[in-house]
Amino acid sequence: MKDQTLHNQITKNLPKLEAELIKLADKFEKEHGRKMTILGKQIPVMIEEEWRRFKADKAERKQLRINQESNSTPQNISVIGNKKVPLMNVSLIQIFEFSKIV
């Protein structure tokens, strides 16, 4: 429960914090006449790269989860119509009838 509350707070406040950070970087640029950088990267560029990396990692984790779920289907299960049935109970007639439907 505590983790979910923290997640919700971060989700709610992160865009506001990013916008504030970008404003402060712009203010720094106006006051000092140069871009504010961290490790040689401008703040808006860093934020964009981090979001891109986060979304790519999330998509990769999702794909891994999908692959693991699809690989967990037992090998002795066959699908006839929309029904999963044990492979040993599938007759050639059922397979033939199903192939005519498809």
Question: Do 60 and 91 lie in a common domain?
Answer: no
What span, in angstroms and rounded, lies between the C-alpha atoms of 61 and 54? 11
Domain span at 83: 75-102
Q: Which tens digit of pLDDT belongs to each residue from 14-41?
A: 999 999 999 999 999 999 999 998 889 9
Question: Do 49 and 9 lie in a common domain?
Answer: yes
Q: Which tens digit of pLDDT belongs to each residue from 44-90?
A: 999 999 999 989 999 999 998 888 877 665 555 555 556 655 555 55
Give how many domains the chain has, as a whole number.
2
pTM score of the predicted model: 0.57
Q: Supply φ then ψ for residue 30, to 5 degrees.
A: -65, -40
Question: Do 17 and 66 lie in a common domain?
Answer: yes
Calculate the average pLDDT of the chain. 79
Question: Do 19 and 62 lie in a common domain?
Answer: yes
